[in-house]
Structure 1
């Protein structure tokens, strides 16, 4: 499944769950929450967590959690793209063009 295909599936899923109704401002709060969860997943994967209330995870479980949190961040970005009617491919091109232009003298 490509990025645009996933975005269409995601929007449909969110609409069925009545989650799509939230404004971009509220959606940004969800993205911030997911970025925090990603930060915890990266920390846990890289240096571990020593918390008595949590089960110790092996490397495969920590890596799986890292992928889950990355997916959650991407999903929130894709929903924001749809809210603003921006195609995901356009964001990728924007990134490439910006970086190429910014560092053109260093290539």
Structure 2
């Protein structure tokens, strides 16, 4: 599924549950929470967790958790974008332009 199509699906999903009306400020807080969970998932893959209160996790399960947390971060970003009427293509183009300009690749 293309990024814009996923964003449209996601906004509809959130609207049907009355979640979309939450402010972008609240969404940024949700994103912060998700980034923390992503950090934990990366740590588990890079150096392990080794927490006595948690069961051991297989490499496949750790990778699956990473994919899940990346998706959660992406979804929060896409909802914030929709709140400000910013398209994924607009973000990608702006990002590429900034990097090319910064490193003189225009």
TM-score after normalising by structure 1? 0.95
Q: How many residues align?
A: 106
**Which consecutive unaligned segments of at least 5 residues does structure 2 have?**
none
Which whole-Å deviations, capped at 9, do the CAs of 1:50-105 have from their partners, x for residues lacking one? 11221111000000000000000000000000000001100000000000001007
User: 2:17 matched to which residue of 1?
Assistant: 17
**Which consecutive unaligned segments of at least 5 residues does structure 1 have?**
none
User: 2:67 matched to which residue of 1?
Assistant: 67
**Distance (Å, rounded) in 2 between the aligned partners of 1:23 and 1:44:** 32
User: 2:35 matched to which residue of 1?
Assistant: 35
**Distance (Å, rounded) in 1 between the aligned partners of 2:81 and 2:29:** 15
User: 1:104 matched to which residue of 2?
Assistant: 104
Runs of 4+ displaced beyond 2 Å:
none
User: 1:56 matched to which residue of 2?
Assistant: 56
